[in-house]
């Protein structure tokens, strides 16, 4: 990402979550930081109001497929359906333009995925800082990985949601992510970092 010295992008995958997305939004609002949320279609369908909250707060929304599959196991037609269905729902539910950026689940882009993105006018987006927060490695571990690896142009990957029920300590528990964000965000700001969305907000 090229947006000037000490400018980075925060991204959040696998939402929207009925619990954790709002907590992330509160922290972003507190520090005046924009972000990009790559959303799963099934979660958007389940929690449409959370998508609207993200859009109303001025953050950009990206496409992260309908069911978070391994795209390498899908036909080109199935890949297109996963992406197109999600983009259409985000636009309709959020009352916004369809997403212009796409992130493959796990970052596993395939030739078919790149081809479909080109057909649909979507820019594929990966990341450069991955604290592996989805695995709940501990708040301090997430903080350390973000602060240690973030630099000019970084795209930081974190997760505000997950498919499935929210159970403390389970795969959809994003409390460590929220706690880490609350700690490292003001420290990055104090260190002179600025933040930008990956895609324009529409």
Residues near 25 by beta carbon (within 8 Å), at least 6 away in sequence: 53, 54, 57, 59
Clarify whether 2 is annotated catalytic.
Answer: no
Active-site residue identified among 13, 14, 133, 160: 13
Give the DSSP letter string of 140-171: HHHHHHHHHH--TT-EEEEES--SS---TTST
Catalytic residue among 14, 68, 159, 160: 159
162 Cα distance to chain centroid: 11
13 is catalytic: yes
Angle, to 10 degrees, between the axis of helix 20-31 and the axis of helix 48-56?
10
Residue numbers annotated as active site: 13, 159
């Amino acid at each position: 990402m090229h947006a000037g010295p000490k400018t980075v992008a925060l991204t959040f995958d696998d939402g929207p979550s009925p619990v954790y997305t709002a907590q992330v939004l509160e922290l972003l609002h507190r520090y005046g930081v924009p972000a990009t949320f790559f959303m799963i279609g099934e979660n958007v369908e389940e929690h449409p109001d959370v998508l609207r909250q993200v859009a109303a707060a001025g953050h950009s929304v990206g496409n992260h497929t309908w069911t978070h599959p391994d795209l390498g196991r899908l036909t080109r037609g199935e890949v297109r359906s996963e992406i197109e269905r999600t983009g259409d729902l985000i636009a309709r539910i959020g009352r916004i333009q369809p997403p212009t950026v796409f992130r493959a689940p796990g970052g596993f882009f395939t030739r078919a995925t790149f081809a479909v993105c080109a057909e649909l006018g979507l820019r594929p987006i990966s990341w450069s800082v991955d604290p592996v927060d989805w695995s709940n490695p501990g708040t301090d571990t997430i903080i350390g990985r973000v602060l240690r690896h973030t630099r000019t142009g970084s795209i930081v990957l974190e997760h505000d949601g997950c498919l499935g029920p929210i159970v403390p300590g389970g795969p959809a528990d994003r409390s460590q992510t929220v706690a880490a964000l609350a700690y490292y965000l003001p420290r990055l700001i104090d260190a002179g970092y600025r933040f930008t969305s990956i895609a324009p907000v529409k």
